[in-house]
Amino acid sequence: MNGRDPEGRPSTPLHVPVLLETTLDLLAPALDREGPSTVVDATLGLGGHAEAVLRRFPRTTLIGVDRDPDALRRAGERLAPFGERFRPAHAVYDAIPEVLDREGVASVEGVLFDLGVSSMQLDQDDRGFSYSRDVPLDMRMDPGESRTAEAVVNEYPVKDLAQIFRVYGEEKLADRYARAVGTAREATPIRGSAELVGILERATPAALKSRGHVGKRVFQALRIEVNRELEVLERAVPAALDRTSTGGRVVVLSYHSLEDRIVKRALAARTVSTAPRGLPVETDETAPTFRMLTRGAPKAADGEVERNPRAASVRLRAAERIRGDPRTA
């Protein structure tokens, strides 16, 4: 069935994992070796990437991490045919070390991050992620958490809202929008997405209303704040690298510049020498422990974007551990 997704983009009948073949090919040298291997899918979602990994690499066990209990349930049903080769874990992905400790796994051969909000979460009105339909301002990836987007919108000081809109949403009208929200909530609390979008529309100069949906950047900013996404990511990538064995690979798919910048920094810290310039001999302490597998941040090809519009904004980065195996540390 053709149509539009919850944010007005062309939709496909079934969730399609982004850059699937590229991701599998990047993981393959680590998983096609002799003997068993373990992969962490740090953002399991509906299990699309996970299913493809388990099908292609029959000696691989996959630990699927997600903070969303509903995602874990649905992915579990999808991946049930793989039996004990799939192990679900309810956790935020910066808790990879704790998850691996519980599973009795010292290190892994692969880690995959597919960041951002999932299509399942966008599709469910009660989750409150959509700005194109009137839904409650929730946006929690884990419904068990306490902070909602409604609380952020109604309780944060105006200056803090402006900072969130500016930094997390890269919104040029951040100050203007924050002041408009502050004025509106003085009369009555802001409860739903349509109400918030209306406030943003009234605060947008006529000359700028053609630049796209007024809610896109603000809703992104609120989602990131509610779920502490960037803070989690800053901890998660180094944690994943720490538990990757020699020859193992870490692949990250990000969808906006803030995520990609964090990933780029984390990988750069492990793939360049820290020795002072001019030092004649590289030491164990200063030599890089990983090498980059991608040049820059490759994008999806036009054909994939046409088939799967979510791929339009993806940036991929990947690295392989070349020394300093955690199993021998």
> Is the domain of 216 the same as that of 242?
no
116 is in an annotated binding site: no
Evaluate if residue 16 carries a pLDDT over 80.
no
**CATH number for position 192:** 1.10.150.170
Q: Where is the domain boundary, 206, 227, 248? A: 227
The annotation status of 66 as a binding-site residue, yes or no, is yes
187 and 220 in a single domain? The answer is yes
pLDDT of 164 higher than 80: yes
pLDDT in tens, 148-162: 999 999 999 999 999
Res. 184 pLDDT band, cuts 50 70 90: very high
Q: Are 235 and 182 a contacting pair, CB within 8 Å?
A: no
What global pTM score does this model have? 0.88
Is residue 15 annotated as involved in ligand binding? Answer: no
- Is 308 found in the same domain as 210? no
- Verify that 279 and 297 share a domain, yes or no: yes
Structural domain span for residue 172: 121-227
Ligand-binding site membership of 45 (annotated): no
Under 8 Å CB-to-CB from 328, ≥6 apart: which residues?
none
Examine the pLDDT at 311 and tell me if it is beyond 90: no
Residue 278: its pLDDT value, please?
Answer: 66
Same domain, 28 and 135: no
Judgement on whether residues 216 and 235 belong to the same structural domain of the protein: no
Predicted confidence (pLDDT) at residue 7 exceeds the cutoff of 50:
no
Contact, 40 vs 66, CB < 8 A?
no
Of 181, 196, 227, the residue at which a domain comes to its end is: 227
For residue 284, the domain's CATH number is 3.40.50.150
Q: Are residues 220 and 147 in the same domain?
A: yes
Q: For residue 14, what pLDDT band results from cuts at 50, 70 and 90? A: very low
Q: For position 69, what pLDDT does the model report? A: 92
- Is residue 195 predicted with pLDDT exceeding 90? yes
User: Do 247 and 29 touch, CB atoms closer than 8 A?
Assistant: yes
Q: What is the pLDDT of residue 308?
A: 78
Residue 2 pLDDT class (50, 70, 90 cuts): very low
Question: Two tokens at 169?
Answer: 């949403």
- Give the chain's domain count: 2
Beta strands in the chain (DSSP E): 3-4, 10-11, 37-41, 60-66, 86-90, 108-114, 244-254, 290-292, 315-321
Residues 6+ apart with CB under 8 A from 18: 114, 253, 300, 304, 308, 310, 311, 314
| Structure tokens that stand for 255 in this block | 């969808």
Q: Is it the case that residue 4 has pLDDT exceeding 80?
A: no
The token duo for 25 is 């090919």
For residues 165 and 202, membership in a common domain is answered with yes
- Do 172 and 245 belong together in one domain? no
Distances (CA, A) of 213 to 274, 275, 279: 44, 48, 53
Residues 202 and 236 in one domain: no
Q: Which of 182, 197, 227 is the last residue of a domain?
A: 227
Higher pLDDT, 117 or 21: 21
Do 183 and 309 have their domain in common?
no
pLDDT of residue 301: 85
**Residue 115 sits in the same domain as residue 245:** yes
pLDDT digits (tens, 9 = 90+) for 95-151: 999 999 999 999 999 999 999 765 555 555 556 566 667 889 999 988 888 899 999
Mean pLDDT computed over 3-24: 61
- The answer on pLDDT for 6 being more than 60 is no
Answer yes or no: is 114 a known binding residue. Answer: yes
Query: What confidence score (pLDDT) does residue 134 get?
Result: 81
